[in-house]
Amino acid sequence: MGVMPVRRLLLSMSFPMVVSMLVQACYNVIDSVFVARINENALTAVSLAFPVQMLMIAFASGTGVGMNALLSRSLGEKNFDRVNRTAANGVFLAWVSSIPFLLFGIFFSERFFLAQTGVREIVDFGHDYLSIVCPFSIAVFSQIAFERLLMSTGLTIYSMLAQTAGAVTNIILDPIMIFGMLGCPEMGMAGAALATVIGQTLAAALALGFNLGRNREIDFRARGFRPDREIIGKIYLVGAPSILMAATGSVMTYGMNLILMAFTPTAAAVFGVYFKLQSLLLLPVFGLNNGMVPIVAYNFGARNRERIVKTIRLAVLYAEGVMLAGSLLFQLFPNQLLGLFNANAAMLALGAPALRIIGIHFVLAGACVVFISTLQALGNGLESLLIAFTRQLVVLLPAAWLLSLTGSVGAVWWAFPLAECATLAVSGHLLKRVFRQKVDAWCAGGN
């Protein structure tokens, strides 16, 4: 952390994370590609369901972040009793967190779609999907919990293998179960949901097996387990900001769907396509940042300002390279990108200009993501949460609503570049202030 050349260190730390994030992105994109083959309403239904899935990921990942932080600290202190208690309580919290989604899927999934659209086919498709994905959400909660245990103890390769196996299984089963192939009955949207759940269950089982067979740092014992209020409190002390930050994205997506559905379901389908495609760009950038954060944190502790600055500059360079490539793809090949999702003429006419406008903000997004992650690495999680809240709920949603009052759905898409400009200004200002007050003073030998 303190002596390896920064470029090589950043790439070696980030590579497993980037691969893992890319696999997860392909998981979602290919799922939607197959669903779009049913018809456009099926694609719209998946788009409307996405906020609920985002919320599941928010709670699962946020709990995992808190569990990882406490577990890693306990390992560093050689406090193996607390390591085991943290792991047990983290898995317990993951399972408990799946219960509200189970109840939602059984009792409220149809009402959720009726609140967004009166198109009966979309409601039926969405209900078929969430009434399976939500009740079996314990699969994705278990997968993420067991994978985070592997990552926190340095067994990143096994986490990547489990996630890849689950994603590949989902991709293989999607066409078989959706369209009825190889003797399987045609199940439509229910088939897409079952393929997702089976993939997640396999990934969870593999991750658990790797923990039991390969993880020597954690001793898994279910006998005599009791929830530990102190451990749970410490997990959520770190994890709650991550949950809230991710949950704002879920709220934003739900709000955008409501705004766009007022125009046409096709607009919501286009928004869903954009969200899937942008994940192919942003998730690898998040993986890069996951590798950057410990480097910045370590060198802040070591008072090495030069390595902190070099790490941030390289991270911005790599992130901007990825996002610039994505922006060019959106500008030059919008029809081809929409064609992956079986877009008809109406969807192409509406979607191509939308992707070109939205794609503008990618040029700014790479730097924004790095700035926000740097603030987290320096212990300023509250500022990171403030930026996420400002972008999603203070700027983007109100701007989209105001632009929708023009009566043109094309105007709504400009909310994304406007929100990214505001995010860059806010995150850049906060990072500059934190650097001056915290990093410069600390590295110069101050408090």
Q: How far apart are CA 213 and CA 396, in angstroms?
A: 46
Q: How far apart are CA 290 and CA 148, in angstroms?
A: 13
Q: How far apart are CA 187 and CA 179, in angstroms?
A: 7
The pLDDT of residue 447: 45
The pLDDT of residue 376: 76
> Residue 61 contacts by C-beta under 8 Å, 6 or more apart in sequence?
144, 242, 243, 246
Q: How far apart are CA 336 and CA 192, in angstroms?
A: 24
Could you give phi then psi for residue 18, rounded to 5 degrees? -60, -45
Q: How far apart are CA 114 and CA 132, in angstroms?
A: 18
Domain ranges of the chain: 1-14+263-447, 37-238
Sequence length of the chain is: 447
Q: What angle do CA 310, 316, 321 make, to 5 degrees?
A: 130
State the 10-residue block means of pLDDT for the chain, 447 residues long.
Answer: 76 74 72 89 91 88 81 76 88 94 95 93 95 94 90 81 90 94 93 94 95 86 80 84 80 93 93 88 79 78 84 92 94 94 92 95 90 81 82 92 95 96 92 86 68
pTM recorded for the entire structure: 0.84
Q: How far apart are CA 423 and CA 152, in angstroms?
A: 30
**Residue 38 parent element (H or E):** none
In the DSSP assignment, the letter for residue 222 is: -
